Structure 1
């Protein structure tokens, strides 16, 4: 008969360090994107992808929501990209106080380069995993994104 006071409690099961690993993965991917895309970085690439390459552009409000950037972060990023000739601000046809962001010809070229870089990096990420493993990772990352999106209650 075992004395319940004699031993220590069993060690809790160690769970993966997801926050640490996601942070490290994000930094690694940002560095890879920067190295492969020259002067582009992940924030610029996000704008280039979100705006799209047609002439209709995207309202700044939509960009902010999609990329989860603060108004000041988005404004500063757009200022730098505008200065570098990648984007231009046009009056929003539906809201006189807002702007629509469109890519310039140079921005469309930078977008095409960023798309090629992203595809190359994504291919490298998928190496060595089968379709079911990739589907599980995709589902998990989408769950993280929706579970911890702005406005969601995060105390589950």
Structure 2
């Protein structure tokens, strides 16, 4: 009798839900009482703006893999609590840019420290080779096209180059 293959879709979805819950609990435990803790999506936006302050809404949507309407709502909520500022671009009135504000910037040190700690806990008990395989597989999943593949079409090969994975 052959062994049943792992249920990858189920495992990935349940792991993602559990990870989001666990990260939320970790963040809540380190925050003071009554302090607003950034969600995973808010944290992602804060991390991106820390590196690319003044990024356009399109750049942010692409980086976060969000549709424009979802990003607009996220930015609007964060703007309402003083974490970001959205303004029309001075060079192109059709473009809106987002800047990190003091309220959002104040969350970055604890978010960065928390992510180091979370990554260490996620990696505990795994070898570097095992973690590389996991990273390669997750990168493969991210690279899957939204289009239905043609019959017989093979997935794009993935190759490690330096510290990054590249799709060939």
Q: Which interval holds the TM-score relative to the shorter structure?
A: 0.7 to 0.9
5+ residue gaps, structure 2? 29-36, 154-168
Tell me the CA shift for residue 65 of structure 1: 1.1
Equivalent residues of 1:53, 1:103 under 8 A apart: no
Q: Which residue pairs with 1:51 in the alignment? A: 49
Give the TM-score of the pair, scaled to structure 2: 0.76
Q: CA deviation at 1:45?
A: 0.9
Q: Deviations over 1:44-83 (max 9, x none)?
A: 11111122256x4211101111111122211111111011
Match of 2:5 among 9, 15, 20: 15
Q: Larger RCO: Structure 1 or Structure 2 (Cα < 8 Å, ≥ 6 residues apart)? A: 1
Q: Which runs of 4+ in 1 moved over 6 A?
A: none
CA change 1:142–1:93 in 2 (3 A) is farther
- Cα drift, residue 130 of structure 1: 0.8
1:97 pairs with 65, 69, 94, which one? 94
Between the aligned partners of 2:51 and 2:102, the Cα distance in structure 1 is 9
CA–CA distance in structure 1, aligned partners of residues 92 and 7 of structure 2 = 45
Q: Secondary structure at the match of 1:36?
A: helix
Structure 2 residue matching 1:97: 3-state secondary structure: coil
Per the alignment, residue 36 of structure 1 pairs with 26
**Corresponding residue of 1:4:** none
Task: Please provide the CA RMSD for this pair.
Answer: 1.9
| Cα distance change of structure 1 residues 30 and 133 upon mapping to structure 2, 3 Å threshold | same
Does residue 72 of the first structure (1) align with residue 66 of the second (2)? no
Shift in Å, 1:13: 5.1
Q: How many residues align?
A: 142
Q: Confirm or deny: 8 A CA contact 1:86 1:110 kept in the other structure.
A: no
